[in-house]
Amino acid sequence: MLHLRLITPADRTEAVVTLLENSVGTTNLAVLTGAARDPAGDVILCDVVREAGDEVLRELRALGIHECGSIAVETVDLELSQRAEQAEHEAPGEGADAVVWEQLTEVTHEESTFSITYVAFLTLAVMLAACGVMLDNAILIVGAMAVGPEFGPLAGICTAVVQRAPRLAGRSLYALLAGFALAIALTVLFSVLMDAAGLFREIMLERPRSNTAFIWKPDRMSFVVAFLAGVAGTLSLTSAKSSALIGVAISVTTVPAAGNAAVALSYGDLGQTYGSAAQLLANLGGIVLAGTLTLLAQKWLWSRRGRRAAAGRAQRQAS
C-alpha cells in the first residue's frame, strides 16, 4: 500500500479529488482545506494500492500537481482496514508484481549520483577486493562485493533505456565509468603504498590463488551469472525487496575484478589487468542487458494486464 500526501492549489482540489474517487484501488481519502502554507493550498491524503499507484501518479502529473503543488509518496508496511483490503481486491494484479515507475526512477536517480559518498564506498570496496586478492581470501572478496554501490548506476541505465530518459542514462553511465576509473586509480596508489610498507608483494599476485584466480579469468559462465544477478537485482528494486539486492551484490565479480586490475596494474602485469578488465565488462554488460530486458518484460506484462482489466470493467458497465 502507498500513502499519498498532496498539496494542491484550491482551484485544482476538486479535480484531484474527483480523480482519486474514480481511481480503482484508492481509499482513505481526506481533504484538509487551506492547511498548506508553502506552497499555499489544500492538503489531500489518501492510500493507493501498489498495483494502481503508477496510473494514479501519472494522472496527477498530467494535472500538473507536481508543478503547482507537491506529490509525496510513502510506503505503508502495515494497514489494518477493511476498505484497504477491498481496494486491493478491486485493483487488477498483485502488488508484488507492480512497478511504480515514478518511484523506480527517483530511486535510481539517487543511487546513480556521482557523489563523494558513492566514490568513497566504491573505492573502499575496490581496496578491500585488492586486499582479498593479495591474501587469496574469499571472505574479503565477498565483503568487498557487499560494500560496492555499483548496482545503483547499473539500474539507472536500465531504467533510463526503458523510460527513454537520456539525462538519467548519461548521469548513470558517468557515475559508473568515472566511479570505477577513480576507484581503480586510487587503489593503484593504495597498492603502491602497501608494497612500500611491505604488506603487498608481487609474488602474492603471481602465485597460484585457488580462491581468487577466477577473478581475472572470465568465461561464458561469468556472463551467465551476471545476467541472472541482473534479473534478480532488478526484481528486488521493482518489488522493494532490498534483502534480495544484497545477494545480488555478492554474486557478481565487478568490484573484485576492479581490485585485481588495480593491483595487477601497479605491478605492471598486463595479462591480469586485461583479464580483470574483461571480467568487469562482462559482468557490467550482463547486468545491464538482464535489467533492461526484465523491466521491458514487466512493463509489457503489466500493460497487458491493465488493458484486460479495463476491457473487463467496460464489459461489466455495458451489461
Same domain, 146 and 294: yes
Residues 185 and 279 in one domain: yes
Answer whether 156's CB lies under 8 Å from 171's CB. Answer: yes
Number of structural domains the chain divides into: 2
Nearest in space to 3 (alpha carbons), one of 107, 78, 74? 74
Residue 316 is assigned to a structural domain of this protein: no
- Residue 18: φ, ψ to 5°: -60, -40
Domain that holds residue 133: 103-302
Q: Quick check: bond before 256 cis, omega within 30? A: no
- The reply to whether 309 falls in a domain is no
- Report if residue 14 sits inside a domain: yes
Judge whether 255 lies within some domain: yes
* pLDDT over 60 (residue 312): no
Same domain, yes or no: 50 and 158: no
- Looking up residue 70, the CATH number of its domain turns out to be 3.30.70
174 and 285 in one domain? yes
Find out whether 52 and 24 touch, Cβ atoms under 8 Å. yes
Three-state SS for the chain is CEEEEEEECHHHHHHHHHHHHHCCCEEEEEEEEEEEECCEEEEEEEEECHHHHHHHHHHHHHCCHHHHCEEEEEECCCCCCHHHHHHHHHCCCCHHHCCCHHHHHHHHHHHCCCCHHHHHHHHHHHHHHHHHHHHCCHHHHHHHHHHCCCHHHHHHHHHHHHHCCHHHHHHHHHHHHHHHHHHHHHHHHHHHHHHHCCCCCHHHHHCCCCCCHHHHCCCHHHHHHHHHHHHHHHHHHHCCCHHHHHHHHCCCCHHHHHHHHHHHHHCCCHHHHHHHHHHHHHHHHHHHHHHHHHHHHHHHHHHHHHHHHHHHHHHHHHC
CA-closest candidate to residue 145, choices 166, 126, 119, 159: 126
Residue 315 reports pLDDT greater than 90: no
In this structure, the answer to whether residues 85 and 125 fall within a common structural domain is no
What does the mean pLDDT of the chain come to?
A: 87
Q: Are residues 170 and 263 in the same domain?
A: yes
Considering the domain architecture, whether residues 158 and 294 belong to the same structural domain is answered as: yes
CB 104 within 8 A of CB 21: no
Last residue of a domain, one of 66, 98, 130: 98
> Mean pLDDT lowest for which of 7-16, 45-54, 102-111, 132-141?
102-111
101 is written with which cell numbers?
515507475
Residue 232 has pLDDT above 90, yes or no: no
Let me know if residue 314 belongs to a domain. Answer: no
Q: Look-up: residue for cell 464489459?
A: 315
What does the alpha-carbon distance between residue 59 and residue 106 come to, in Å, rounded to a whole number? 17
84 close to 28: Cβ distance less than 8 angstroms: yes
Give a yes or no: residue 259 inside a domain.
yes
Q: Are residues 164 and 270 in the same domain?
A: yes
Please, which pLDDT band fits residue 252 given cuts at 50, 70 and 90? Answer: confident
**Does 85 share its domain with 135?**
no
pLDDT per position as a tens digit, 100-148: 878 788 778 777 889 999 999 999 999 999 999 999 998 999 889 888 8
pLDDT of residue 267: 95
Other C-beta atoms closer than 10 Å to the C-beta of 142 total 17
End-of-domain residue from the set 61, 78, 98: 98
pLDDT-derived band at 51, boundaries 50, 70, 90: confident
The pTM of the full predicted model, rounded to 2 decimals, is: 0.81
Of the three residues 82, 98, 114, the one that is the final residue of a domain is: 98
145 and 63 part of one domain: no
The answer on 159 and 48 residing in a single domain is: no
CA 215/CA 223 separation, integer angstroms: 13
For the stretch 77-98, pLDDT in tens is 878 888 878 877 776 666 566 7
One domain for residues 208 and 266: yes
Query: Does a structural domain hold residue 89?
Result: yes
**72 within some domain:** yes
Q: At 198, list the grid cell.
A: 611491505
